[in-house]
Amino acid sequence: MPIYSYKNPKNGEIFDVIRDFKDYNSNYILEDGTVCERVFNPPKNTVRIVDKNAEVFEKDPEYVRKMKPKYVRYKDGHREKYDPTKHR
């Protein structure tokens, strides 16, 4: 499912929500009844980490360790059995 960005009109906060494809153009309603409009191009100052030169387990080994995968897949497509001492 895709992640959409919405803006809270009360405080101006931009937040992300995972929703179905069918909700592409619909507004998001918070628990307090506030209607938040979708932001199609979130501002550039939002945190987005992209490093195409590193594998996932190299960028965030703690996250991968928490997921407890049986295998890890490299960018070139091959996969190896996960070893927490090797894949960090």
Decide if pLDDT at 35 tops 90: yes
pTM over 0.85: no
Decide if pLDDT at 40 tops 60: yes
Decide if pLDDT at 9 tops 90: yes
Residue 11 belongs to some domain of the structure? yes
Range of the domain at 16: 3-39
pLDDT at 29: 92
Report how far Cα 4 is from the mean position of its chain's Cα atoms. 10
3-state class of 4 per DSSP?
Answer: strand
Number of domain units in the chain = 2
Q: Residues near 1 by Cβ (< 8 Å), separated by ≥ 6?
A: 18, 19, 20, 21
- Can you tell me the distance from the alpha carbon of 4 to that of 23, in angstroms, rounded to the nearest whole number? 9
Decide if pLDDT at 44 tops 70: no
Do residues 4 and 27 touch, judged by C-beta distance below 8 A? no
- Can you tell me the distance from the alpha carbon of 60 to that of 55, in angstroms, rounded to the nearest whole number? 9
Residue 44 belongs to some domain of the structure? no
Decide if pLDDT at 68 tops 90: no
